[in-house]
Amino acid sequence: MLSLVAAVFANSMKRPAIPSFPAKDLFNSIEQMRKMTTLNAGQLLEMAKSVIPPLQYNKHKGQAGRVAVIGGCKEYTGAPYFAAISALKAGADLSHVFCTDEAAPVIKSYSPELIVHPVLDSDHSVEEILQWMPRFHSLIVGPGLGREEHILKTASAVIEQAKENKLPIVIDADGLFLVTQNPALIKGYTNAILTPNVAEFGRLYKKIFNKDPDPEEPVVTLKQLCRELGHVTIVHKGIHDIISNGDKVLTYSMHGSPRRCGGQGDLLSGSMGLFAVWAKWAQEENTKEGNSPPTYQHGMKAAYLACALTRECSRRAFEINGRSMTTTDMIVQIHSAFEYLFS
């Protein structure tokens, strides 16, 4: 128990004092503590170094990661922008957004750095997206996707092709709605990472098991769901983020901020989409070199690093902006948070 408490509050001397939650709010019982595994600051640093590729002068554009966001409709233009720009700011070389025709001019106006494709609602949307698929290293499906039937069918077809290409896929927001309607879409695909909040997790769990998850056993229910879905990685977001693939469990409990503005999950999914690429490459290299298998598979590593980055961005942005903090303020903090955590 003492080691867990030390891990949760590692680096506290480097950070401004933030009132801690009562232990009962962080964990429901001593038994829950035993079931969770939390990396301390030193272990996090070593895991990050094993995943993050060094910057080198002899590399060319695209070698550090090319990601694509599938999402963006008339009502929701901020979410795909936040996800795509977060991947870019975290270190991706190229970041694409596949959105509807109406959303494209708005998203383009947010940033000239993003490559925006207004094809998601076209009659030939699947064909137009799939012709780009060989260029991508990962997909982020769901931010601002909406729930229009044609668009959801397109997203399903894109996911199927991404599976054929063995791409890491991060699924969030309306992408989770799609998976809840059809869990077979990702079942058994271990390159998939789902990022549900409490409500989204509950709906998906009920779809699979025909009952609500036990709120007193978050780790148990998370592992059950991961296993039933074929060992996909799931990030159960909350006061503390719990990550599992059905076998192992990681938690990230360092405080972010008490501010709950919209868009923070998009920063998480965008950075996670990039980290999933880096972690997959690192694991493949590790296998080539004949090293022993890593303790945690690449999806869990990517999820853990993205959770850490998002919370640190939130903490820093809130320290400056307080109640007026927005996700845009968090994105400004990506560089300093990245350097603090991973350099």
In the chain, the largest separation of any two C-alpha atoms, in whole Å, equals: 59
Give dist(CA 198, CA 29) in Å, integer.
19
Residue-wise pLDDT for 179-206, tens only, equals 999 999 999 999 999 999 999 999 999 9
- What pLDDT score was predicted for residue 5? 34
Mean pLDDT of 23-50: 62
* 297 annotated among ligand-binding-site residues: no
Would you state the pLDDT for residue 132? 97
* Torsional class of 65: left (φ above 0), alpha (ψ -120 to 50), beta (otherwise): left
Whether residue 235 contacts residue 241, with contact meaning beta carbons closer than 8 Å, is answered with yes
Annotated binding-site residue? 259: yes
Res. 116: pLDDT tops 70:
yes
Beta bridge partners of 252: 241
pLDDT digits (tens, 9 = 90+) for 306-315: 999 999 999 9
Q: Which H helix or E strand runs over 68?
A: strand 66-70
Whole-model pTM: value is: 0.89
Q: Which two tokens stand for residue 185?
A: 């879409």
Q: What is the CATH number of the domain that holds 221?
A: 3.40.1190.20
Q: Residue 255: its pLDDT value, please?
A: 86
Contacts of 243 (CB under 8 A, 6+ apart): 233, 234, 235, 236, 249, 250, 251, 252, 300, 303, 304, 307
243 assigned binding-site residue: no
Q: How is 217-263 classified by DSSP, letter by letter? A: -HHHHHHHHHHHTTS-EEEE-SSSEEEESSS-EEEE-----S---TT
Q: Give 244-255 pLDDT, tens digit per residue.
A: 999 999 999 888
Per-residue model confidence (pLDDT) at position 18: 35
Give me the pLDDT at residue 44, please: 78
Q: Is 261 annotated as a binding residue?
A: yes
Asked whether residue 265 is marked as a ligand-binding residue, the answer is yes
Above 90 in pLDDT, residue 299? Answer: yes
Q: Is 175 annotated as a binding residue?
A: no
Query: Does the pLDDT value for residue 135 go beyond 60?
Result: yes
Domain assignment present for 4: no
User: Has 299 been labeled as part of a binding site?
Assistant: no
Two tokens, residue 78: 């901020």
Confirm or deny that 334 is annotated as ligand binding: no
Q: Would 270 be classed as within a structural domain?
A: yes
Q: Which helix (H) or strand (E) element contains residue 170?
A: strand 169-171
Task: Residue 9: count other Cβ atoms within 10 Å of its Cβ.
Answer: 16
273 is in an annotated binding site: no
Q: Is residue 150 part of a domain?
A: yes
Task: Examine residue 9 and state whether it is found in any structural domain, yes or no.
Answer: no
User: Coil, strand or helix: which one is 113?
Assistant: coil
At residue 210, what is the residue type? N
**301 annotated binding-site participant:** no
Q: What is the pLDDT of residue 37?
A: 59
User: Would the annotation count 78 as a binding residue?
Assistant: no
* Residue 239 annotated as binding site: yes
209 is in an annotated binding site: no
What is the structure's pLDDT at 93?
A: 98
pLDDT tens-digit readout, 43-95? 877 888 889 999 999 999 999 999 999 999 999 999 999 999 999 999 999 99
Residue 13 covered by a domain: no
Residue 239 tokens, joined: 């006061």
Token pair for 322: 């307080």
In contact, 190 and 297? CB cutoff 8 Å = yes
For the chain, counts of helices (H) and of strands (E): 15, 9
Domain hosting 145: range is 24-52+61-309
Total of domains in the chain: 1
Is 241 annotated in a binding site? The answer is: yes
One-letter amino acid for residue 57 of the chain = Y
Q: Which residues on adjacent β-strands are paired with residue 96? A: 68, 115
- β-sheet bridge partners, residue 249: 244
**263 annotated to bind ligand:** yes
Q: Does pLDDT of 328 surpass 50? A: yes
Average pLDDT, the chain: 90
197 is annotated as contributing to ligand binding? yes
| 11 annotated among ligand-binding-site residues | no
Looking at the predicted structure, is the pLDDT value of residue 343 above 50? Answer: yes
Phi, psi dihedral angles at 144 (to 5 degrees): 70, 20
Confidence check: pLDDT of 13 > 60 = no
On whether 290 is known to bind a ligand per the annotation, the reply is no
The verdict on residue 323 lying in a domain is no
Dihedrals phi, psi of 95, to nearest 5 degrees: -135, 120
| Burial bucket for residue 310 (CB in 10 Å: 0-12, 13-18, 19+) | buried
User: Which amino acid would we find at residue 251?
Assistant: T
- The pLDDT-based confidence of 36 (bands split at 50, 70, 90) is low
- CA-wise closest residue to 250 among 216, 226, 273, 274: 226
Q: Is 127 annotated as a binding residue?
A: no
Q: For residue range 212-248, list pLDDT tens digits in order.
A: 999 999 999 999 999 999 999 999 999 989 999 999 9
Give the C-alpha separation, 275 to 277, whole Å: 5
> Is 230 part of any known ligand binding site?
no
Share of the chain above pLDDT 70, in %: 89
pLDDT at 32 over 90: no
Give the SS3 label for residue 100: coil
264 is in an annotated binding site: yes
From CA 23, how far away is CA 158, in angstroms rounded?
A: 43
Which of 265, 234, 202 minimizes the C-alpha distance to 76? 265
Residue 321 within any structural domain of the chain: no
- Please give the pLDDT value at position 40: 77
**In terms of pLDDT, which residue wins out, 13 or 93?**
93
Task: Please check whether residue 261 lies inside any domain of the structure.
Answer: yes
Q: Report whether 144 belongs to an annotated binding site.
A: yes
